[in-house]
Amino acid sequence: MALVGCGGFIGSHLLSAILERTQWRVFGVDLDSYRIQEHLSNDRFEFVCADLSEPSVVKRIAQYPVVVNLAAICTPSRYMAEAATVIRSNYDHPARLADACAKSGSWLIHFSTSEIYGKTSAESGLLDEDSTEITLGPVPASRWSYATAKLLTERYLFALENLCWTVVRPFNFVGPYMDFMPGVDGEGIPRVLANFSTALVRGETMKLVNGGLAKRSFTSVHDAVDFMFCLFRNGDQGIGQAFNIGNPDNELTIAELAGKMRSIYAGIKGVGVETVPQPVAVSGEEYYGKGYEDSLRRMPSVAKAERLLGFKAATPLEVVLKESLSWFVDHYQIAAE
């Protein structure tokens, strides 16, 4: 099989699981390989440092019967300042890959995003793959450049004749190796888990954008990997379908997330919670720049994955937060000192 984005957060977990649990050969493509160093010498893994802008690489990928595409620019802080690059990465590249897979007959499993549901309100109910209406913000609000590109890609896959496809919509996957620590192995603002973890490790304040009232349903990356194995086993049920992958039992506000991470961090360090700085509120535009808007609630309906594939995410929030934060502290402690 081919795994595009094998060096990223989700890709690296999926690659490890495939190499451990199966005897499959994997052709991996990514611009980055620091998370997958341990696999580079594995005989069943071939790695190419490239992205989908290279037609020869796209052609090679499409020779494999199963192609998983995880490559994307998916950090909200980049959606405003680099909208054109974000659109190329999230529409042009996957559309070219889809064309190649349609021609070769490969099964394309494309990772989309929960963000395609757009500018959801605080009152939004469960988001359903096939019936929820979608509203994106106005064009000058560049926050929606990513969602627009991802949605267009989904529509393109849906419309393309002869393509065998499955779409996966992740709902805030979290776990070890998520994003980066600013100034150490990346620049800018990572997603909320890595950003809060960075603040905690550095003894700085966590920033609650617009008061931290937005809600998210966080999902363990290990559940996401288990979903992929259910999909591999039940391909017939998954082809031609989009699936939300999320955990509605793990929903909370971002302010509540900050509170939980603060006490988990105090527990890890063995200190009183009052010694860990309190979060502070900031405005979205002040923090991310002009054009930032937000989805206020993102709660997935997960009935379809359960019905067709027998999959249900099971990891409770406390467990995944403890695992992620402990990993972050160990991995970055020296860099932070």
- Active site includes 91? no
- In the region spanning residues 101 to 140, those forming contacts with ligand UGA, defined by CB under 6 A, are 113-115
Work out which of 294, 322, 329, 331 binds ligand UGA, going by CB under 6 A.
294
Work out which of 35, 93, 191, 304 binds ligand UGA, going by CB under 6 A.
191
Identify the three-state secondary structure at position 198: helix
Q: Least distance (Å) from ligand UGA to the CB of residue 80?
A: 12
Q: Which range of residues in 38-46, 63-71, 204-212, 328-336 is near ligand UGA by CB under 6 A?
A: 204-212
Name the residue among 205, 176, 210, 209 with its Cα closest to residue 192. 209
Pairing mode, if any, of strands 107-111 and 164-170? parallel
Q: Least distance (Å) from ligand UGA to the CB of residue 151?
A: 12
Q: Least distance (Å) from ligand UGA to the CB of residue 161?
A: 28
Round to whole Å and give the CA distance between 253 and 175.
18
Q: Decide if residue 74 touches ligand UGA (CB under 6 A).
A: yes
- In the region spanning residues 316 to 335, those forming contacts with ligand UGA, defined by CB under 6 A, are none
Which is closer to ligand UGA, CB of 100 or CB of 225? 225
Q: Decide if residue 86 touches ligand UGA (CB under 6 A).
A: no
Round to whole Å and give the CA distance between 82 and 3.
25
Q: How far is CA 174 from CA 164, 221, 314, in A?
A: 29, 6, 14
* Amino acid of residue 180: F
Query: Locate tokens 């005989």: which residue?
Result: 43
Q: Decide if residue 195 touches ligand UGA (CB under 6 A).
A: yes
Q: Least distance (Å) from ligand UGA to the CB of residue 236?
A: 27
195 CA to centre of own chain: 15
Which is closer to ligand UGA, CB of 38 or CB of 204? 204
* Amino acid of residue 10: I
Round to whole Å and give the CA distance between 240 and 249.
27
Q: Which residue among the candidates 79, 117, 146, 265 is catalytic per the annotation?
A: 146
Round to whole Å and give the CA distance between 307 and 150.
25
Round to whole Å and give the CA distance between 39 and 151.
33
Q: Which range of residues in 26-34, 62-70, 206-214, 325-333 is near ligand UGA by CB under 6 A?
A: 206-214
Q: Least distance (Å) from ligand UGA to the CB of residue 106?
A: 24
Q: Decide if residue 175 touches ligand UGA (CB under 6 A).
A: no
Pairing mode, if any, of strands 241-245 and 207-209? unpaired
Q: Decide if residue 216 touches ligand UGA (CB under 6 A).
A: yes
Q: Quote the DSSP letter at residue 211.
A: G
Footprint of ligand UGA on this chain (CB under 6 A)?
A: 74, 76, 113-115, 146, 170-173, 191-192, 195, 207-209, 212, 214, 216, 254, 294
